[in-house]
């Protein structure tokens, strides 16, 4: 049998420290009918890492 990689663990899937792109938040909010700038402010206030803010 071939060498298989180790199975994923919950720690491998932890996305808490990976910033979500600001443009993705804006797009998802707009699609849901939510003000995109409000959604970004809400995410920041609730501790979400956001990437790409200028």
pLDDT tens sequence across 4-43 = 788 888 887 777 778 889 999 999 999 999 999 999 999 9
| Rg (the chain; Cα; Å) | 16
Structure tokens at 44: 């920041």
Query: pTM score, two decimals?
Result: 0.65
pLDDT for the residue numbered 1: 55
pLDDT for the residue numbered 21: 92
């Amino acid at each position: 049998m071939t060498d298989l990689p180790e199975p994923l663990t919950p720690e491998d899937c932890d996305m808490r420290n990976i910033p979500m792109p600001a443009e993705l938040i804006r797009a998802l909010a707009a699609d849901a009918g939510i003000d995109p700038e409000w959604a970004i402010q809400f995410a920041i206030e609730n501790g979400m890492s956001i990437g790409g803010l200028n």
